[in-house]
Amino acid sequence: MAVSVTCPGCGTSYPVADDLLGKKIRCKKCQETFVAAAAKVGAARTADERIQAKPAVRVAGRAAEDEDAPRKGKKPISTGVYVAGGAVAGLLILGLGGIALWAFSGGDDKPKDNPALVTPPPRVELDLPGSRKVAAKATDNPVATLENTLRKRLRSGPRPPRIASDVLEQVKKSAVFIRVTMANGLAEGSGWFAEPGIIITNSHVVGMKEPAQPPPERIEIILNSGVEGQERSMTAKILALDRQEDLAVLQVKGRDLPEPLPIAPTDDLREQDKLLVMGFPLGSSLKGMLGLAKQAVTTARVREAVISGRLFNKDGSVKYVTIEGGADHGNSGGAVLDTNGNVVGVLVAGLGDWNSNIRFIIPSEYVTYLLKGRILAFQPGQAYTAGSGIKQPLLARIADPLQRISKVSLDVWAGLPGKVRPAAERQPAPEPGDSNHQTVALNFDPARKVPLGEAQVAQADVDLPALKEGQNYWIQPRYVTKEGPEYWGEAVVLKAGHLPVERKSANLTVVHKPNSTRQLQLTSRAALAFEVNGRGASGELSLTADMTEQVRSLNRDGSALVRLRYKDMHFTDSDQDTMMRKALRGVMESVKGVMTDVTVTKDGRVTAPRPDLGNVKPQAQAPLRLFNEHMVQSLDFMAIPLPNKEVQPGETWNADTNIFIANIFNDQKQEYQSALLHVTCKYLGVRTRNGRAEAVVELNGQVSRDGLARVRGEMLSDLGVLKNAWEDPEVKAEDLDKMLDQ
C-alpha cells in the first residue's frame, strides 16, 4: 500500500510504500534526507495556497514604544512628556454654540471572529492593503514582485521539529549586523535580506522612529559577521520607513549578496509553536561583558522561542505576535522564522527591564505590504453638495518604496453593513444589497519622489450614491502594477458624507456679546512619553470637559473677559476614568469649583488664562490645576483667529501659534519647550445642524523646530503666565528669568 509523504525541504509530495513510514528517506527532487510521515489532509500546503491564506493585516493603532532598542549611552533616570513634531490636521466648526471638533471614523468595535487575523481599528486612518496574490510572471527586473519570489522559494509543508542544517546555514548567511552612526552616538541592531539587495530592520535601529529625528550619518551593514575570511562591510541607504509599525527598508549594492529569506503568512501560527529568532543579541557589547573584547567576535545566533499568543488592540485587531524567550537587546530588526526557515515576523521589542520573558514580533504581513506598496491610511475630507448630489473628497497616503505601483483607484458604492471584504486578484462580485460600483482614480504619480519617511498623498472627489435605509458607504482600493496585473485591496465601510457643506461665502467675524453664556464640550488628547535608564514607554492622556463660557465684560481694544467653569470632567477612556477616579478620590468631582478667566481678543484668540481654584479642597488642587492647564492649552490652540471679513470657499489664512510642552525631571524641576506651530486655515463652506448655521474651517499645520526654545525653573503652576510673558516682545530676558526664579 502506498501513502503520500511531503518533503519538508522543497515541499514536494509523492507516494511511497507504507513500510517506509518512520524511516529516513531521500527526497527525489532536492535529495534532502527526512523521516517519512503520512501527510495529513489539509496540513501540507503549496506556496500558492499559503499566499492565498494570508490574513488581512492592517494598521491598527499607535506602535508601542520599543523596549528593545539598542542603548546609545547611559542616561539618568528621568520622566518626560513630549509632543512629537509632524503634521496635524482637523476641522473646526464655528457657530453660535461654540467650538467643536468633527472627526470621521470607521470599523467595527467588536472583536473579529478569527483572532489570528489582524483587522482594522475604528479610527479615521484605515489600512487598505493590496491583494494576497498576483499571477506569476517572468521579469527581467532583478527585484521581482514579492509574490513571485514567494512562489519560487517559500518552504511549505508540515513544520519539522527542528530546522534543517542546510536551511539554518542559509538563514545565518542572510542575517546582517547593523552599526549606525548618529549625531548623538552609535547604535547596533539586526536585519535580514528580504529581496536581492533589500534589507529589513526596525526604524528605531536606524534612529528614525520619530519624525523629528535626523537621518543617521552612516549605516554600516556587516555580512557574515565574525566568520573568518568571509566577513565584509558595506554602506546602506534607507529606502522607506513605516514608523507606525517600526519598520525600515534598507538597500545595499554589491556582488554575491546573500540569498533572500522567504516570507510566510502568520495565519496558521498557534500557541506553543516553535519559532527561531535570528540576530545579534547584545551586539558587540557581549564581548565586553565576557571580558573578551579582543579575542571574541560578534556572530549571528539563531535561538528558539515559542509563541505565547497575540497582543490585541481594543477592537480585536492584532498588533504583535508575542513569544517567550529567544531574544535580547540587539535582536531588534532580526527575522523570526518557523522551522521551515520562512520569516513569520520581525523582532521589535521586549520587556527585559521588568524581568519578563515576553518578546514582541511584527507580523510578516506588514513587511509584505510595505515592500509591495499599499495605501497606508485613508481619510475622508469634508463632503459638499454639488447640484442634487453629494461629493466626497478622499485622501490616501500611499507607500511604494520599490516603485511597483503604476495606478491607484477607488471603488465606491452603497451596501449593507458587514465585515471587511477580502482582497482579490479579480474584480469581486457585488453582494446582495450593493448599489452600482463607481471607480475614481487617485492622482497618484508613480514617479513622484517623497521625503524619507513620508508617503505620497493622493486625492480624488467621488460622487456618493444615495443611501437607502440601513445602508453604509463602502470603499475598496484597486491597484495596477508596473508588471501589468490589476488587483483589489480590502473593502471597508466608509463613514463619510454626513452633514455636507454648501460652498458659499460667509462673514467670519468675532462679535462679543456682554453677559452671554454658551455651552462648550472640549476633548483634549496629549501624548505622554516616559524614559527610565534610557528606555522609553508611551501613553496617552485624553480628557473630556463640559464647560460654560460666559462673557463678563468688554474691553476698549475689542477684546472680552470670558470666564470658563466646569460642569464635568472625565477621562475619555472609560477604563482609564474608572481607574483614575479610584486613585484620585474625590478629585474629579471637585472640578466644578475650578474657574478660569481668559481674555479673548477681537479676532478670537484665547490669551492670559488666570485659573482660580479657591473653591477646591487643598488635596485636589494640584491635579486639577494640571488638568485645567491641559484643557486651556488645547482651547488656546483650537481658538483660531478669524479674518473678521467675508470669505469665499477655499480661501485661506495663517494662524501660527506657540505650543508649550512640559518636561518633568526627577529633581522636581520642569522644563517648558516652546515650538512654533504653523497652521493654515481654509474655509470650506456652511452647513446647518440642529437648526443653526455653522461655518466649517479646515486646519492643517506642522510643528516647526525653528521655533524651539527652552527655559528651566521650579514647578510652575500657571503655564499661562509664562506663555504670555514669552509671547510679549516687551518682556526682557532678565525679567523672564526673574519670573522663573519666583
CA dist 188 and 377 (Å) reads: 31
pLDDT bucket at 268, cuts 50 / 70 / 90: confident
Q: Which of 36, 32, 41 is nearest to 14 (CA)?
A: 36
Confidence category of residue 436, pLDDT binned at 50, 70, 90 = very high
Region of poorest pLDDT, from 483-487, 551-555, 570-574, 598-602: 483-487
What class, spelled out in words, does domain 373-494 have in CATH? mainly beta
Using a pLDDT cut of 90, give the percent of the chain over it: 34
CATH architecture of 155-371: Beta Barrel (2.40)
Least confidently predicted of 81-95, 209-223, 573-587: 81-95
Say if residue 88's pLDDT is above 70: no
pLDDT of residue 40: 39
Contact 671/710 with Cβ under 8 angstroms? yes
Residue 682 has pLDDT above 90, yes or no: yes
What pLDDT was estimated at residue 660?
65
Say yes or no to pLDDT of 709 above 50.
no
Highest mean pLDDT of the ranges 6-10, 184-188, 312-316, 409-413: 409-413
Give 219-260 pLDDT, tens digit per residue: 999 999 988 889 999 999 999 888 888 999 999 999 999 999
Q: Are strands 218-223 and 175-182 parallel, antiparallel or unpaired?
A: antiparallel
Q: What is the pLDDT of residue 547?
A: 95
Could you tell me the pLDDT band of residue 32, with boundaries at 50, 70 and 90?
low
Q: pLDDT at residue 518 above 70?
A: yes
Residue 317, pLDDT score: 55
**What are the sequence ranges of the domains in the chain?**
2-44, 87-101+504-741, 155-371, 373-494
pLDDT digits (tens, 9 = 90+) for 491-505: 888 888 778 999 999
Distances (CA, A) of 320 to 60, 334, 365: 10, 15, 11
Residues 6+ apart with CB under 8 A from 623: 584, 587
pLDDT score at 446: 92
| Banded pLDDT at 103 (limits 50, 70, 90) | very low
Q: From start to end of 96-231, where are the E strands?
A: 98-101, 175-182, 185-195, 198-201, 218-223
